[in-house]
Amino acid sequence: MTVLILALVAVLMLWLAVLLAFSGPLAARWREPVLRQPVLIVESDDWGAGPLAQADALERLSALLQRVRDRGGQPAVMTLGVVFEVPDGVRIAASDYTEYHALPLTETRFDGVRQAMHEGIQAGVFAPQLHGQCHYWPPALIAAAHVDCTVRDWLNSAEPVSTEALPSPLQSRWVDASNLPSRALTAEAIQHAAAAEVAVYQAVFNRVPQVAVATTFVWNDAVEAAWAQAGVEIIITPGHRATCRNAAGQPGCEDATMLTGEHSHAGQTYLVRDVYFEPALGHVPQRLVEGLLARTRQGRACLVETHRFNFLQTRDSSLAALEAGLNAALDACPDLRFVSPLGLAHAIQARNPDWIETRMLPRLRAWRHRLDEVPRFRRVAQLTGLALPLVWLERTA
């Protein structure tokens, strides 16, 4: 009996050591709010200045979203990450690629695009977000045009261009990726650019932006501070922050991770979107449902990332896939809620009991499902036997 007790104590001490070794990420996931019901938000980037065909795509998206409603009658919500200018290639070429000129979203040629956005906002299905004054850093674009014929050819388009066709590193706004690895921008340059994009956002939407999402998810503390000064309250993230483009052109120099409800140094609330649904890349409606079910088990909102190119390149099939995915999500989770990111963030900040779970057992169940994402923890738990009480916890909670 003494040997058995000693063995049990040794196992308990081993489990305690494992929990202490991973205490930081485990505690963070316990503090993270647990939602009482499934929540789904469709997040779509790159809208605004660019191809005029966006107007029709936005009108059809608005009609689709209004057809899909949750049990409370709220229509499905899609965020629009808005970009406010594209290059004026004709004028740039006329300067022999030495001067940057822009086609702003406020131009009359974009009247149809702006009108479609505003109508969707009024219908309660579009929620605009600040994506950037442009989907690149203008000096980097001009520098690249001097050495890259594909960039020059792209600039020479007679119609407003799609920034999706730019080399990926150049699509990052908050670094100079004209050469790799990228170079950091000065805090002064960031402050000036952020103030300019907030001003144009206000000119288009008659309000300051409250939610921002960085192009290509490359940004830093200086960007957050500049956004905060301009009134941005919420930052959409993929759960981590890249601050550069590395030598291979990929987002790199990761300096932070974040969970939904955590705060930036400048005070903004982070939301995490990490479910990807790009019908033009072959993603089927079931992918959206699987993402929702996984996030619901974790007590999290399902923020679904999709992009403009789906609804321009393969418009009809992408619209059909999105509608099928939303309806399948409602079938899988009849108590599903649709809400904007701002509404979700405000509910989290206020600890609204209609949205945030406070009971111990549901919180334990959600916490258990979050543990599998902690790097190395699942493997260590299996090797030490700690997985057994955790599975028991999941089944009894």
Residue 7 maps to a domain: no
When pLDDT is cut at 50, 70 and 90, the band that residue 257 belongs to is: very high
Q: Are residues 277 and 164 in the same domain?
A: yes
What is the rounded CA–CA span in Å between residue 157 and residue 171?
A: 17
Would the pLDDT of 15 be above 70?
no
Residue 245 maps to a domain: yes
Task: Please give the pLDDT value at position 212.
Answer: 98
Residue 343 maps to a domain: yes
Q: Are residues 194 and 120 in the same domain?
A: yes
Task: Please give the pLDDT value at position 160.
Answer: 92
Q: Which residues contact 285 (CB under 8 A, 6 or more apart)?
A: 321, 322, 324, 325, 328
Distance of CA 273 to the CA centre of its chain: 5
| Mean pLDDT calculated for residue range 36-63 | 98
Q: Are residues 219 and 348 in the same domain?
A: yes
Q: How many CB atoms lie within 10 A of CB 99?
A: 12
Q: Is 31 helix (H, G, I), strand (E, B) or coil?
A: helix
| Mean pLDDT calculated for residue range 166-179 | 97
Task: Please give the pLDDT value at position 153.
Answer: 92
Query: What is the domain-level CATH number for residue 348?
Result: 3.20.20.370
**Tokens, residue 381:** 């738990």
Q: Would the pTM count as exceeding 0.85?
A: yes
Q: Are residues 281 and 384 in the same domain?
A: no
Mean pLDDT over the full length of the chain:
94
| Mean pLDDT calculated for residue range 54-71 | 98
Range of the domain at 279: 36-352
User: Which carries the bigger pLDDT value, residue 224 or residue 18?
Assistant: 224
When pLDDT is cut at 50, 70 and 90, the band that residue 30 belongs to is: very high
Task: Please give the pLDDT value at position 367.
Answer: 93
| Mean pLDDT calculated for residue range 216-245 | 97
Domain count for the chain: 2
Q: Are residues 365 and 348 in the same domain?
A: no
Euclidean distance between the first and the last CA atom of the chain, given in angstroms as a whole number: 31
Q: Are residues 161 and 208 in the same domain?
A: yes
Contact between residue 148 and residue 196 where contact means Cβ atoms under 8 Å apart:
no
Q: What angle do CA 393, 387, 10 make, to 5 degrees?
A: 105
Helices marked H in the chain: 2-21, 23-31, 54-67, 89-94, 111-122, 138-145, 149-155, 187-205, 221-230, 285-297, 310-313, 315-332, 341-349, 360-371, 377-384, 387-396
Q: Are residues 329 and 211 in the same domain?
A: yes
Q: How many CB atoms lie within 10 A of CB 211?
A: 25
Would the pLDDT of 12 be above 80?
no
Amino acid code (one letter) for 253: C
Q: Are residues 63 and 103 in the same domain?
A: yes
Residue 43 maps to a domain: yes
74-123 pLDDT tens trace: 999 999 999 999 999 999 999 999 999 999 999 999 999 999 999 999 99
DSSP string, 57-106: HHHHHHHHHHH-B-TTSPBP-EEEEEE-EEE-HHHHHHTTT-S--EEETT
What is the rounded CA–CA span in Å between residue 339 and residue 347?
A: 10
Q: Are residues 289 and 380 in the same domain?
A: no
Contact between residue 339 and residue 41 where contact means Cβ atoms under 8 Å apart:
yes
Residue 300 maps to a domain: yes
Residue 6 maps to a domain: no
> Nearest CA to 77 among 59, 67, 65, 64?
65
**Tokens, residue 300:** 């999290």
Contact between residue 244 and residue 182 where contact means Cβ atoms under 8 Å apart:
yes
Residue 21 maps to a domain: no
Length reported for the chain: 397
Q: Is 260 helix (H, G, I), strand (E, B) or coil?
A: coil
Contact between residue 23 and residue 58 where contact means Cβ atoms under 8 Å apart:
no
| Mean pLDDT calculated for residue range 292-302 | 98
Q: Are residues 283 and 159 in the same domain?
A: yes
Question: CA-CA distances (angstroms) from residue 195 to 219, 225, 269?
Answer: 15, 11, 20
Q: Are residues 62 and 182 in the same domain?
A: yes
Q: Are residues 251 and 225 in the same domain?
A: yes
Contact between residue 198 and residue 131 where contact means Cβ atoms under 8 Å apart:
no
Contact between residue 266 and residue 230 where contact means Cβ atoms under 8 Å apart:
no
Residue 124 maps to a domain: yes
